[in-house]
Amino acid sequence: MKTVMRRTCLVAVLFGLILTSASLPVALTPDESLAQAYKTIASRRFVDLTHSFSPLTPVWKGFGQATFASAADPKTGHPYTIEEDGFRAFFYSMVGQYGTHVDPPAHFDPHGMTMDEIPLRQMILPLVVFDITPVLRSDPNHSFSVADIKNWENRHGRVPVGSFAALRTDMYKDWENPERFKRYPFPAWSFEAIQFLYEQRSIVANGHESMDTDTSEDLASEKWLLTHGHWQIEVLAHLDEVPETGSLIVVSWPKPKHGLGFPARAFAILP
């Protein structure tokens, strides 16, 4: 219990400092300064929650693989090289929903927020991890339920308001085996769990290791959350290195105007 309280306090302090420092005008005491907040954060362990991606990366069959090529001079068609030009660059061609990526509401909702409109304050959040790997031994395609959430809360306390909720399944370990990673069905969120977390626990966003939120034919969970103004991160990694409570998640992505999705960088700061 003391460990849980220390972790909760750390998240509250760090998150409070970040939010407070972004609000002007504010008189900060020395103990509340950004320098102190950074010193605290920098002393913690960071865990990368993001997959590297390549032209061989698993992707939904409806999109197809990415292509990487050397960027070339448009006048000559000659690829730039360090030897001849002093620099080199890649040209990337891929769908936005590739690798670890963000799904903004506009991915499913014609009137929803695009990725450049997601508030900056939502890009650093308290992180809760729902570990369902023990259940997967007997039910490998388990659908995470409201009962599972309440069992988690019996052990860790109520899901904090304003959290990012991540579903740990250890599917990320199959990333280098695309056919295995793309299996169907797979462990996922249930519609009821997603709705409960947003409506009854007021989470801000969710994430998971698979390429889809759920295994329903109409992607009911994903459709519901995106058409209700929420966003998610898909294809997360290394959630097995993150405690179930007490961490922060930081997410970022490029800012294409009216973007409908893009590879993201996500990492956890441990308590």
pLDDT digits (tens, 9 = 90+) for 65-92: 999 999 999 999 999 999 999 999 999 9
Question: pLDDT-based confidence at 18, cuts 50/70/90?
Answer: very low
* CATH class of the domain comprising 46-56+97-269: alpha beta
Model's pTM, two decimal places?
Answer: 0.88
CA gap 63, 98 in Å, rounded: 9
The boundaries of every CATH 3.50.30.50 domain in the chain are 46-56+97-269
DSSP 43: T
Q: Give pLDDT, residue 1.
A: 46
d(CA 248, CA 202): 17
Omega of the bond leading into 256 within 30 degrees of 0 (cis): no
Q: How far apart are the first and last CA of the chain?
A: 14
pLDDT in tens, 226-262: 999 999 999 999 999 999 999 999 999 999 999 999 9
